[in-house]
């Protein structure tokens, strides 16, 4: 590892399966160096596959530059992994004796200041801390798969954990785009898994009793209440069901049904070989045509689409993504005067399946969408978005001209840059380029003229000198760049 790399924060990942690999990707893509330990002979290959999926999906959620990726190293011992770590994430199988042994070895070699998070789905932190050298160093940080996309982490502390340790843990998780849901009291399986198990248990009965197949149960969720839950949760959804009278009316109306024999949640079906095979066969028939990696990529692309929709509306999980963009903006901020040797790089993302037309390539209006998102990223970069818009001023599009040079297929990595051609207090003239991430091919360009407008009056007004300072400094730096050949071109014009 280079000296420059060590200046970055360091995460130790103990256990490199689906969850541990997801943690590695989340930290790595947020600029942390990652040292991973897993005795499995294929650990390196598995982590590499998870990282490949994460690189395709996680950057597509951000509308500001991500930090420079850290370095990942696979080591042979726990001691090597944890000796200089700032955060240590234990993700070994759910066996309490195994976790005790691993946590003891971690604490033998780790810095006392390091936080040790456990990905356990069910054990309480006080159980994990039993016999520990420093009990207060260990807490539960239970994520959800895929860790690199889903923001929720259940953060559970015992009385042995100080408020300072819990606060540091929450701050660290927020810095990598996660939402730490602090579970108020220790309880087996924490919070979300208890809710999921209730649905899972009922689903097992429905399959066992031939009421429904695995596919029918999944369809009932993904076509119905799952869509509501994804953006409103449980109680807010039921609040709407109560109509004008609200939640109290809903509970009075449907509360008596809780005493009716609608479910078998208090019973557990016997997981004998017959039921196991029945579920396995139905599951294979449902999605066996896809490989594991194909299913993961399908899941990730769909999650990115859902999360971006919520982000556009600043609702549900989208609020976490927007807050993280603002956090990244303060940490990965462009210099006041841009490097005059090149345009500013704005967005790094991948082409989503929903962007593909009947020709199998990114459809025309998605090019325009990416350039529009690039404008948002530019204005955030120079401090003229978010709070600036809320204060009543913004830049409105007056004219654009797009040229298309090459095609982009599904999952293709792309990035955009901007060159400011001219700017003053009322006008902003820019030239965007879209490139293929794999080989830097030019895919498209968009030239745009924006006018500075007072939102309430709708009239063009001058931006204040202080507000436009960063923008004008970038424009001054870009004045030294060669003017793009296509700038000022009209439709059909030959050069």
Domain range list for the chain: 3-182, 201-289, 337-478
140 contacts 128 by C-beta, under 8 angstroms: yes
Q: What would the CATH number be for the domain defined by 201-289?
A: 1.10.1040.10
Q: In this structure, which long-range contacts are made by residues 135-138, counting pairs with CB atoms below 8 Å and at least 24 apart in sequence?
A: 135/160, 135/161, 136/160, 136/161, 136/162, 136/165, 137/107, 137/110, 137/112, 137/165, 138/103
257 contacts 269 by C-beta, under 8 angstroms: no
| Averaged pLDDT, 12-23 | 97
Tokens 């996660």 sit on residue: 178
| Averaged pLDDT, 400-406 | 94
pLDDT at 491 over 80: yes
| Averaged pLDDT, 239-243 | 90
* Mean pLDDT lowest among 157-161, 182-186, 263-267, 411-415: 263-267
- Overall pTM surpassing 0.85 (yes/no): no
Closest listed residue to residue 171, CA positions, set 291, 87, 93: 87
pLDDT tens, 94-125?
Answer: 999 999 999 999 999 999 999 999 999 999 99
Read off the tokens for 210.
């031939």
Query: How far is CA 451 from each of CA 83, 228, 429, rounded to the nearest angstrom?
Result: 55, 39, 9
Helix, strand, or coil (residue 197): helix
What span, in angstroms and rounded, lies between the C-alpha atoms of 105 and 101?
6
Query: How far is CA 95 from each of CA 20, 77, 102, rounded to the nearest angstrom?
Result: 16, 20, 11
What's residue 371's pLDDT? 95
Task: Indicate the angle between helix axes 317-331 and 163-175, nearest 10 degrees.
Answer: 90
| Averaged pLDDT, 391-418 | 93
> Does a cis peptide bond (omega within 30 degrees of 0) precede residue 227?
no
| Averaged pLDDT, 286-303 | 91
Of residues 232 and 6, more confidence is placed in 232
What's residue 263's pLDDT? 83
Query: How far is CA 162 from each of CA 169, 175, 188, 414, rounded to the nearest angstrom?
Result: 11, 20, 21, 44
What's residue 339's pLDDT? 58
What's residue 334's pLDDT? 47
pLDDT at 353 over 80: no
pLDDT at 1 over 70: no
Secondary structure element (H or E) that encloses residue 175, with its range: helix 163-175
Of residues 171 and 66, more confidence is placed in 171
Secondary structure element (H or E) that encloses residue 108, with its range: helix 96-109
Secondary structure element (H or E) that encloses residue 387, with its range: helix 387-390
CATH superfamily name and code, 3-182:
NAD(P)-binding Rossmann-like Domain (3.40.50.720)
What span, in angstroms and rounded, lies between the C-alpha atoms of 95 and 93?
6
Neighbours of 162 (CB within 10 A): 12
What's residue 317's pLDDT? 95
What span, in angstroms and rounded, lies between the C-alpha atoms of 315 and 61?
14
Q: Where are the alpha helices (DSSP H) in 209-332?
A: 214-220, 226-232, 235-241, 247-254, 273-287, 292-312, 317-331
Query: How far is CA 371 from each of CA 154, 347, 374, 418, rounded to the nearest angstrom?
Result: 37, 9, 5, 10
Closest listed residue to residue 89, CA positions, set 34, 15, 13: 13
**Of the ranges 103-112, 257-266, 382-391, 486-495, the best mean pLDDT one:** 103-112
What's residue 56's pLDDT? 84
What's residue 254's pLDDT? 87
The whole-chain average pLDDT of the chain stands at 92
Q: Where are the alpha helices (DSSP H) in 129-190?
A: 163-175
Residue 294's φ and ψ, nearest 5 degrees, are -65, -45
| Averaged pLDDT, 264-279 | 90
Residue 361's φ and ψ, nearest 5 degrees, are -130, 170
pLDDT at 5 over 80: no
* Confidence grade of residue 340 (pLDDT, cut at 50, 70, 90): low
Sheet holding 442-454, edge to edge: 344-350, 413-423, 427-436, 442-454, 393-404
pLDDT at 337 over 50: no
pLDDT tens, 165-200?
Answer: 999 999 999 999 999 999 999 999 999 999 999 999
| Averaged pLDDT, 218-226 | 95
* Confidence grade of residue 332 (pLDDT, cut at 50, 70, 90): low
Neighbours of 306 (CB within 10 A): 17
26 contacts 177 by C-beta, under 8 angstroms: yes
pLDDT at 62 over 70: yes
Domain 337-478 in CATH 1.20.1250.20: no
Neighbours of 310 (CB within 10 A): 19
What span, in angstroms and rounded, lies between the C-alpha atoms of 123 and 138?
12
Query: How far is CA 346 from each of CA 265, 324, 353, 385, 448, rounded to the nearest angstrom?
Result: 50, 16, 22, 15, 16
């Amino acid at each position: 590892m280079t000296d420059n790399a060590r200046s970055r924060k360091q995460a130790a990942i103990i256990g490199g399966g689906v969850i541990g690999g997801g943690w590695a990707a989340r930290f790595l893509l947020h600029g942390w160096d990652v040292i991973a330990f897993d005795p499995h002979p294929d650990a390196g290959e598995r982590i590499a596959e998870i990282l490949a999926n994460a690189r395709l999906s996680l950057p597509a959620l951000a509308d500001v530059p991500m930090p420079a990726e850290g370095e990942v190293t696979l080591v042979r011992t726990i001691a090597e992994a944890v000796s200089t770590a700032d955060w240590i994430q234990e993700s070994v199988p759910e066996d309490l004796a195994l976790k005790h042994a691993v946590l003891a070895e971690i604490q033998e070699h780790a810095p006392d200041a390091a936080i040790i998070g456990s990905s356990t789905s069910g054990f309480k932190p006080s159980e994990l801390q039993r016999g520990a050298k420093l009990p207060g160093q260990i807490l539960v940080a239970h994520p959800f798969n895929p860790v690199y996309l889903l923001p929720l982490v259940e953060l559970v502390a015992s009385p042995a954990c100080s408020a300072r340790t819990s606060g540091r843990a929450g701050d660290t998780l927020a810095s990598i785009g996660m939402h730490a849901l602090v579970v108020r009291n220790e309880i087996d399986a924490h919070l979300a898994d208890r809710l999921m198990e209730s649905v899972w248990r009922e689903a097992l009965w429905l399959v066992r009793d031939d009421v429904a197949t695995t596919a029918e149960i999944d369809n009932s969720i993904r076509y119905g209440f799952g869509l509501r839950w994804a953006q409103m949760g449980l109680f807010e959804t039921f609040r709407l069901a109560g109509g004008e009278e609200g939640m109290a009316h809903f509970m009075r109306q449907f509360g008596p049904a809780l005493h009716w024999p609608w479910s078998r949640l208090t019973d557990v079906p016997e997981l004998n070989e017959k039921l196991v095979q029945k579920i396995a066969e139905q599951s294979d028939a449902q999605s066996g045509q896809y490989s594991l990696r194909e299913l993961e990529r399908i899941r990730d692309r769909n999650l990115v689409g859902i999360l971006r929709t919520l982000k556009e509306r600043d609702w549900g999980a989208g609020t976490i993504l927007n807050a993280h963009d603002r956090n990244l903006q303060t940490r990965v901020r462009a210099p006041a005067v841009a490097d005059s040797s090149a345009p500013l790089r704005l967005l790094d993302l991948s082409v989503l399946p929903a962007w593909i037309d009947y020709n199998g390539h990114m459809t025309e209006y998605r090019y325009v969408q990416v350039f529009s998102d690039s404008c948002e990223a530019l204005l955030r970069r120079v401090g003229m978005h978010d709070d600036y818009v809320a204060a009543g001023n913004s830049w409105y599009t007056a004219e654009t001209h797009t040229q298309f040079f090459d095609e982009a297929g599904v999952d293709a990595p792309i990035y955009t840059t901007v060159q400011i051609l001219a700017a003053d207090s009322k006008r902003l003239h820019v030239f965007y380029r879209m490139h293929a991430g794999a080989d830097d091919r030019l895919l498209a360009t968009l030239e745009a003229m924006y006018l500075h407008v007072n939102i309430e009056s709708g009239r063009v007004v001058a931006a204040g000198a202080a507000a436009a300072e960063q923008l004008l400094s970038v424009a001054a730096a870009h004045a030294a760049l060669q003017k793009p050949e296509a700038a000022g071109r009209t439709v059909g014009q030959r050069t």
